[in-house]
Amino acid sequence: MRMYLLDYGYTDVDKGMVLTLGRDVGKVVSTPIWGALVETRAGWVLIDTGMNPVHINQPDATFAGTPLSGKIVPVMTSQNRADECVRACGVDPAEIVMILNSHLHFDHCGGNALFPTAEIVVQKKHYEWAMLPESQCPRRDFDLPHARWRFVDGEEEVLPGIHLILTPGHVPYHQSFLLNLPQGPVIIAADAASLAETMAPGAEITADDPRLYHASIAKLERLAHDTGARILLSHDQALWQQWPHAPECFH
């Protein structure tokens, strides 16, 4: 197995409104949006697909007219499209056999439609929640007429060396991923843990269920302790800058 971390652009966000619930309100921070391209014996797998390319020319395409307008501002270029990121690694988008969506927020599934031949794996109950109007998940990104969905119910080894880990809290039935790479196991937390500071017990966080959020972090930390895995957080700019990005292989 090889893994490449893909740069899908970033968002400028009001930290206190979007990430740390009342702390640092008005402070604008840039949060990386990224995914992972993984070579497996079954073929190429993509973990999350970033933002819809509509944001290249229309940054407010998702949040215009909502309370988050101007509070989450996507920044991306054509090079940040998920399909272009895959091509930059020497892989044809048609070679992607599977997409693993951690959840269906706009910055994690916005490129799903760019891979029409891939099977898309997500938790069934999360998909059902995302389809509800109150979820505020843009159906534009995942309610795709020709998508090949594979709905799962709970934790499983979806492919040899790739395990789905249930980590609710940020949203219902969110999932993270444990990858058994040759150089050692890695946990892709996705939005189960967005910043290093939000991993502290009792830290103020913006989440659907803060209690479950912190329980999921504790679960990932136990898993990391038991397996020796590194935890990769979703939106921490300082950590993102430390990791090797595609086309360099993750090590």
Amino acid identity at 196? A
Say what the pLDDT of residue 202 is. Answer: 84
Say what the pLDDT of residue 31 is. Answer: 97
Helix (H/G/I), strand (E/B), else coil: 75: strand
If you count them, how many residues does the chain have? Answer: 251
**Distance between CA atoms of 196 and 231, rounded to whole angstroms?**
10
Q: pTM for the full model?
A: 0.95
Say what the pLDDT of residue 40 is. Answer: 96
Q: Distance of CA 182 to CAs 2, 69, 179, 228, 250, Å?
A: 8, 43, 9, 13, 11
**Distance between CA atoms of 143 and 168, rounded to whole angstroms?**
22
Is there a contact between 162 and 74 (Cβ–Cβ < 8 Å)? no
Say what the pLDDT of residue 98 is. Answer: 98
Say what the pLDDT of residue 136 is. Answer: 87
**Distance between CA atoms of 30 and 10, rounded to whole angstroms?**
6
Residue with tokens 């998508």: 147
Say what the pLDDT of residue 55 is. Answer: 98
Extended strands (E) in 144-235: 148-152, 156-159, 162-166, 175-181, 184-190, 230-233
**Residues of the chain falling short of pLDDT 70:** none
Residue with tokens 């998702």: 62
Residues linked to residue 10 through DSSP beta bridges, in sequence order: 32, 75
- Segment holding 74, helix H or strand E: strand 72-75
Say what the pLDDT of residue 57 is. Answer: 97
Say what the pLDDT of residue 149 is. Answer: 97
Q: Phi/psi of residue 142, each to 5°? A: -135, -15
